[in-house]
Amino acid sequence: MCDHLVRDTARIPTDARGLSRGRRLAKLGAHAADTGELVFEDCRVPARNLLGPEHGGFKLIMQGFEGERLVLALVCCAQMRLMWEEARRYGHERRAFGQPLLGFQVWRHRLADQLTTIEAAEALTYRAIDLHVRGARANAEISMAKLFAAEAAREVAHHCAQIFGGSGYMEELLIGRLHRDALAFTIGAGTSEMMREILAREAGLVPAGPAR
């Protein structure tokens, strides 16, 4: 189970029969957040600890996903900005062949492309936030923002890390850790494939009739 389920099960007594902690899971990134297994085996929970209506747990989780996806889109945008700023700083400081790396047009253009991608991701995310705050239906817009920002974060991470050369692959550099952590964005709060399916349904792309 993911670490966020620890919060979701906070109202289950830790001494409840059938509840036990499994092994700690080792992740590629996001090392600051512990992730481990919670095992429920014939676990009985007092009725007073019920969250929401009985048998309504799945619906509550689905409703919570919208907020989680919106937050994750924001995290992606913030991390992309940070990676881009790190790449720009290094591009001015690091010199090769008698000039800063950003003295070479190829690097200037590469970072210009990534800045354009970041701006596009932020525009989608801010639009989704505006709809959500106003109480409008925003399932498609939130899914679109999460999809685009998460996919963009991996691309921006690659290009921003590339300017660092071999040092960008080192744990001691911030860019190395950010690059590694970006791998999880297309999985958390629903995979990119799931976001595309939600968008397809919202846009009326799914044919009527039984699913094939």
CA distances, 13 to each of 10, 53, 56, 167, 194 (Å)? 8, 19, 20, 47, 33
19: Cβ contacts below 8 Å, ≥ 6 apart: 12, 13, 38, 39, 40, 43
Residue 205, classified by CB atoms within 10 Å of its CB into exposed (0-12), middle (13-18) or buried (19+), is exposed
Give me the count of residues in the chain: 212
The predicted-structure confidence for 169-192, as pLDDT tens digits, reads as follows 999 999 999 999 999 999 999 999
Triad 129, 135, 139: Cα angle to 5°: 65
**In the prediction, which pLDDT does 60 show?**
83
3-state SS assignment for residue 182: helix
pLDDT for 49 equals 85
Task: Kindly state the tokens that stand for 78.
Answer: 């913030």
Residue 101: both structure tokens together:
């790396």
Residue type for 49, please?
N
Give the domain ranges of the chain: 4-49, 61-202
Range from 58-62, 75-79, 167-171, 202-206 carrying the lowest mean pLDDT: 58-62
Catalytic residues: 68
Mean pLDDT, residues 90-111: 98
| pLDDT over threshold 50, residue 139 | yes
Residue 50 has pLDDT above 60, yes or no: yes
Cα 49 to Cα 170: distance, rounded to the nearest angstrom = 47
Distance of CA 135 to the CA centre of its chain: 23
On the question of pLDDT at 56 being above 50, the answer is: yes
Model pLDDT, residue 210 = 63
pLDDT mean over 59-69:
86
| pLDDT recorded at residue 3 | 40
What pLDDT is stored for residue 1 in this prediction? 35
Question: Would you put residue 191 in left (φ > 0), alpha (ψ -120 to 50) or beta?
Answer: beta
Classify domain 61-202 at the CATH topology level: Butyryl-CoA Dehydrogenase, subunit A; domain 3 (1.20.140)
- Residue predicted with more confidence, 112 or 209: 112
Q: What confidence score (pLDDT) does residue 34 get?
A: 87
Contacts of 23 (CB under 8 A, 6+ apart): 36, 37
Q: Compute the mean pLDDT over every residue in the chain, rounded to the nearest whole number.
A: 91
